[in-house]
Amino acid sequence: MVSPEIEQVTTGSKGIFRRIISRIRTLPTGSIIILVLVLCGAILAPLIAPAPPAKIDIRHSLRPPIWEDEGVPGHPLGTDDLGRDILSRMLYGARISLLVSICAIAISGSLGTLLGLLAGYFGGWYDSIIMRVTDTFLSIPFMLMALAIVGVLGPSLTNIIVVLGITNWAKYARMVRGETLSVRELDYVRLAEVAGCSHWRTSLYHILPNVANSLIILATLDLGRVIIMESAMSFLGLGVQPPNISWGLMVAEGRKYLSVAWWYVTFPGVAIALTVLGGNLLGDYLRDILDPGFRKA
């Protein structure tokens, strides 16, 4: 006979409530919808944008969104100071923002992975040197380093990708090194060596796939961070330069008109916030399903 208390715990209202919460937690519908929307918007920008992003129309400058009294048809989210369509600029801006963040993550991810593998697998001097460099990179404030590098190289699309890439690899190196250290002591790595695999083959073919889970999680969580960094740098005028468009740049341009045209900064800002949120939620979800350690917790 099951005691009433136990029954209440297992089937009671609290249990159902918890299960709904966990169901919502396990299915990252929200984040997937956000990211798919952003991605589709970026890819299909030429097809769905109501106007060319650079088309100037002084007669309709600083018009509010369409649902406000002074809104004009054809500009659903209003126009900026030169009469350019905010929605179109956001769609094209998504292209640049995603391009920059994905390329930057690819650069920092591969650089960090390579160095982390080297440090973790070979150990000794490699480990000491690479880890000291990593510590140094982690201790320098990002903005300071980015300002310095852009100051030397000059702002451009390529440079901002490179800057974001090389200022961000240390995290990856550190994580990959840690994982490599634990994986390389496992029997199957030893057996790979026993079977006559070279060091490169052992580390790239046998160790790397076992580190990939954590890498994917870290990269997804990083997506939001890099978008914010890119926006911050564009906002400061050191990132994406006109005529290219990025969300951070739009916020920077709209700052002057904040008191008269709230929509100019609000919509790009919301886009940044939502995309970052989407990336973080997806990262959390991936961590839950890919990392057995977190799954139990």
Partner 1 sequence: MMNKNKSILEVKNLRTYFADGTDTIRAVNDVSFNVRQGEILGIVGESGSGKSVTCLSILRLVPRGGQIVGGEIIFDNEDLLKKSNREMRMYRGRRISMILQNPMTSLNPVFKIGNQVSEPLLLHGSWNRHDVLEKAIALLQAVKIPSPSMQIAQYPHQLSGGMRQRVVTSIAIGCAPDLLIADESTTALDVTIQAQVLQLLKDIREERGLSIILVTHNLGIVAGMCDRVAVMYAGQLLEIAWTKELFSHPSHPYTKGLLRSVPRLGKGRRRLKSISGQPPDLAHVPSGCPFWPRCEETLEVCKVDCPPVTNMGSQHDVRCWLHTSGDLLKK
Determine which residue in the list 3, 23, 152, 187 makes contact with partner 1, applying CB under 8 A: 187
- 5/187 with CB nearer partner 1: 187
Q: Which listed range, 22-30, 157-165, 206-214, 246-254, lies at the site for partner 1 (CB under 8 A)?
A: 206-214
Determine which residue in the list 131, 161, 192, 250 makes contact with partner 1, applying CB under 8 A: 192
197 is an interface residue for partner 1 by CB under 8 A: yes
Q: What is the 3-state secondary structure (H, E, C) of the chain?
A: CCCHHHHHHHHCHHHHHHHHHHHHHHCCHHHHHHHHHHHHHHHCHHHHCCCCCCCCCHHHCCCCCCCCCCCCCCCCCCECCCCCEHHHHHHHHHHHHHHHHHHHHHHHHHHHHHHHHHHHHHCHHHHHHHHHHHHHHHHCCHHHHHHHHHHHHCCCHHHHHHHHHHHCHHHHHHHHHHHHHHHHCCHHHHHHHHCCCCHHHHHHHHHHHHHHHHHHHHHHHHHHHHHHHHHHHHHCCCCCCCCCCCHHHHHHHHHHHCCCCHHHHHHHHHHHHHHHHHHHHHHHHHHHHHCHHHHHC
Determine which residue in the list 57, 81, 193, 291 makes contact with partner 1, applying CB under 8 A: 193
20 is an interface residue for partner 1 by CB under 8 A: no
- 88/202 with CB nearer partner 1: 202
Size of the site for partner 1 (CB under 8 A): 18
Give the shortest CB-290-to-partner 1 separation in angstroms: 12
Mask for 106-145, x = binds partner 1 (CB under 8 A): -----------------x----------------------
Give the shortest CB-195-to-partner 1 separation in angstroms: 4
| Cα–Cα nearest to 84, from 59, 53, 41, 49 | 53
Q: Which listed range, 25-33, 40-48, 64-72, 207-215, lies at the site for partner 1 (CB under 8 A)?
A: 207-215
Q: Which listed range, 160-168, 203-211, 216-224, 282-290, lies at the site for partner 1 (CB under 8 A)?
A: 203-211
Determine which residue in the list 27, 148, 186, 270 makes contact with partner 1, applying CB under 8 A: 186
CA dihedral of 50, 37, 216, 96, whole degrees rounded to 10:
10
Determine which residue in the list 191, 258, 270, 289 makes contact with partner 1, applying CB under 8 A: 191
Give the shortest CB-288-to-partner 1 separation in angstroms: 19
Cβ count near 228 (within 10 Å): 18
Q: What is the CA radius of gyration of the chain?
A: 24
Q: Which listed range, 85-93, 99-107, 186-194, 242-250, lies at the site for partner 1 (CB under 8 A)?
A: 186-194
274 is an interface residue for partner 1 by CB under 8 A: no
Q: Which residues bind partner 1 (CB under 8 A)?
A: 123, 186-188, 190-198, 201, 206, 209-210, 212
